[in-house]
Amino acid sequence: MNTQVTAGAVFDWPLPPFFHPAGATFPASRQCLAEFDDGRIVAGELAAFDPERNAASLVVPGQSQAQRLDLDKLRMLTLAAPVALVRDGAAIRQVGTSEGEVAEERTFTVTFRDRKTLSGSTRGFVRRKSGLFLYQLGDDPKTATCCFVPAHQLGDVQVGPLLGHSLTGRQILSKQTLAAALDKQASLRQELLGKQLAERAIVTPEELKAALQMQREAPKLRLGDILVDAGAITRDQLDEALHIQEERRGRRLGTILIDMGVVTSRQVQMALSDKLGIPYINVREFRIDPTAADLIGAPIATRHQVLPLMHIGDSLVVAVENPLAMDFAQDLRFITGLTIVPVIANPDDLRARIAREYVSYSRVLAGGEAGAAAGHVPGAPHAEEAAPGRDLSKVRVEELAMALAKEEPLAPRATQDAEFELRITDNALVRLVNKIIIEAHAQGASDIHIESSPRKSTTRIRFRKDGDLEDYLELPSYYRNALVSRIKIMAAMDISEHRHSQDGKIDFGKFGPLPIELRVAVVPTINGMQDIVLRILGGVEPLPLADLGLCARDLATIKQMVTRSYGLILVCGPTGSGKTTTLHSVLHHINRPDIKIWTAEDPVEITQAGLCQVQINSKIDWTFAEAMRAFLRADPDVIMVGEMRDAETTKIGIEASLTGHLVFSTLHTNSACESVVRLLELGMDPFNFADALIGILSQRLARKLCSKCKRARPASDGEIADLLAEYCMDSKLEPAAVRAQWLEDYAHQGQLLLHEPAGCDACKGGYRGRLGVYELLTGTAQVKQLIRARGTVPQLVEAGQAGGMRLLRQDAIEKVLGGALDLSQARSASS
């Protein structure tokens, strides 16, 4: 055991038995990646680690104090710096054995409680009550990466070969005897011979290179002779199969022998592997070179059932079921321009891995990935864009991050060269960016924030979900420029521009399996760095009007408003308050075949069938005002303009609403009554505006309590009194009458209840989703008169309340009493 004590903090990470570090301290560094049950990945430095006592602390970049690491919520902990481990001869001799008896590495498979697996090769292991320590081997067989899996995460663990492979390796049992035993076992337990093949299967590129070198020295034999020499078939059976083949020229000899029932596909594969030295590959676990996988498109890989494994010089190594059936080789040579080297794989595993690595052909066509559907020819422009769609949903983001981190760090003199960085990290980086976008969409995030920090601090990636930012991933600082350059290329931006902000859009359907768009904003920050925010657009369906969270009175009023044939309806609120969602819900409600609806948006976030939607592009002077003028010449019934951001657009909108069109739009104002004053200040004619106005809806979004875990408690008299004071403030309402109405509408067994967040597996911190808080100002006669007289905001509020308007804080308080919000969220949304 290696225990270090620093400033009173215990660091207990054991060495594997019979190994010691090669001339260096162990571990080499305390930098680590911690993966949690909720999918978060946190990078930092371990200040203390004592899992036997459930004690660990982590120093996160940017923070000076260590934070407690909750091992109960930890899925896996990985030390970032690999270590070199060599056999400890003295320790081995002390137990009376030789160094040759201690294996340099063992295969392992860890099955987690959620049935996901982790597998590979390890240089020994340590099993404790607290969990399992592994020393995983990667591309460099001389070094190992230290991993810790807590005991509560472990479902099943297998380290080392199965019994048969161990006995043959130690020459206690011959391969022939083992094969006979396995055949007997198959007859008794209906198990295939594949156990033996699986145990000897190659899982690393290094093993494969060595096996291919041995194969070159093997004699060249025909399949029939190989099977006869192996004792799998007799000479008479071979002659019969050859006679059948003469009559049916299109059939393969191996297929004929299998159909005759004299040999199995596994026996054919065993014979080829033994006699010709053709490597047998475990394609379930083999680390595929991503550049090789991108050389062959999904249709060809699926049709021929071939899986590209690695690119060696001018050769491409591919896994197939039968390496002697080379009818696919000509197609692959034409597509790739490389010599094709086949190796053997289990057909079932081969089909599963091909499905995992490639999006199915039908899905490619459905997603519009025409470039992915065709085989790719090396040297074609934009190779990564033409690469086949990869199913990244089954790949953990930490695997991609680790793959990126294992690449050679950039030389200091090259850190400012974005193109150089991009070329080095392109393979892993392309997949990492795609994975980030796919996972953000799957988690329901609205935005992706990529934040660069000065000097050597990590680059932080965060998702905005339900209005709040959540940490997702941290990457080493030397990849920040490459990450920015990759996103700029996807958005068709200038990668050489670092001093000015840039805006763009990504059509992700060209790069991945999701038909979504992302709005990209690149903002220069200090020290010549750049931050990126990606807004996820598209792939969103409009909500039914009844699901917005409007009270019954406001919902009925809005439904009545939108039946008008002309007039102006506005939705106001700050950025991110759901104005676009509300407008599209209204349009969805009135969207009928007999109505022509035009929309001008920047950007188009929600698409609907039946709407004529236009994207604003100010770079070519295609503005909201220009779009409005064009709409008026296109015979519209309804016009929706994304935002009235200038006097010209607003004036055209008001004029359109007075000439027989129903016009919808948004404003960035704090309340419905303030919107009236803002438009008058823009120079709108008060008489035209008053005549056009139907209503103004102001809104905010608040985090909604999780319905599964929220806790209810009786409200105290003091809390009720405070709520009544807030509710009746600046109004003519009587607290006693309001309280009586609350008891009638919301009381449970005669008591008003308040609800609080608790937290469960279905939510985050007791909150799940968001809910709208609204105030609706109706264009009553009194309100219109005040607009013509340029009335003040307090006057408009009084007139609105006389017409039945509830203020934002009143709507929020009623949602608190109804159990949808807690007090903190209600006050935050309505203040």
What is the DSSP annotation of 689-755? HHHHEEEEEEEEEEEEEPTTT-EEEEPPHHHHHHHHHHHHTTS---HHHHHHHHHHHH-BTTB-EEE
DSSP 217: T
Q: Strands 597-601, 638-641: parallel, antiparallel or unpaired by DSSP?
A: parallel
Q: Strands 55-59, 67-68: parallel, antiparallel or unpaired by DSSP?
A: antiparallel
- Listed in order, strand segments (DSSP E) in 644-692 are 662-667
Torsion of CA 265, 266, 267, 273, to 10 degrees: 110
The pLDDT score that the predictor gives to residue 201 is: 61
Give me the phi and psi of 565, to 5 degrees please: -85, -15
Residues 178 and 688: their CA atoms lie apart, in Å, by: 94
Buried-state track 242-280, b at ≥16 Cβ within 10 A, e below 16: eeebeeeeeeebbbbbbeeebbbbbbbbbbbbbbbbbbb
Residues 762 and 600: their CA atoms lie apart, in Å, by: 38
CB neighbours of 266 closer than 8 A, spacing ≥ 6? 192, 193, 194, 197
Residues 409 and 119: their CA atoms lie apart, in Å, by: 26
- β-partners of residue 450 are 461, 532
Contact between residue 790 and residue 680 where contact means Cβ atoms under 8 Å apart: yes
Residues 616 and 583: their CA atoms lie apart, in Å, by: 17
Residues 808 and 811: their CA atoms lie apart, in Å, by: 5
- β-partners of residue 663 are 568, 639
Contact between residue 66 and residue 58 where contact means Cβ atoms under 8 Å apart: yes
Give me the phi and psi of 382, to 5 degrees please: 55, 60
CB neighbours of 378 closer than 8 A, spacing ≥ 6? 295, 336, 337
Residues 112 and 13: their CA atoms lie apart, in Å, by: 21
Which residue's entry shows tokens 């089909």?
351
- Listed in order, strand segments (DSSP E) in 350-407 are none
The pLDDT score that the predictor gives to residue 181 is: 46
Residues 613 and 330: their CA atoms lie apart, in Å, by: 48
Residue count of the chain: 831
Residues 739 and 380: their CA atoms lie apart, in Å, by: 73
Structure tokens at 334: 């034409």
Handedness of CA 355, 361, 364, 370 (dihedral sign): positive
> CA 53, 59, 60: angle at the middle one, nearest 5?
130
Contact between residue 366 and residue 372 where contact means Cβ atoms under 8 Å apart: no
DSSP string, 485-534: HHHHHHTT--TT--SS-EEEEEEGGGTSS---EEEEEEEE-GGG-EEEEE
Within 13 Å, how many C-alpha atoms sit on residue 517's CB side? 13
Alpha carbon 279 to chain centroid, angstroms: 35
* Positions in the chain whose pLDDT score sits under 70: 1-8, 24, 94-98, 100-101, 160-222, 230, 248-252, 265-266, 269-277, 290-291, 294, 324-328, 330-331, 334, 359-428, 455-456, 538-540
Q: What share of the chain is helix, strand, coil (3-state, %, to 5)?
A: 40, 25, 35
Structure tokens at 221: 């034999």
Residues 749 and 753: their CA atoms lie apart, in Å, by: 10
Q: Strands 143-150, 83-87: parallel, antiparallel or unpaired by DSSP?
A: antiparallel
Neighbours of 94 (CB within 10 A): 10
How many helices and strands in the chain, by DSSP H and E? Answer: 31, 33
Structure tokens at 706: 């999780």
Residues 257 and 262: their CA atoms lie apart, in Å, by: 6
Torsion of CA 716, 722, 728, 729, to 10 degrees: 180
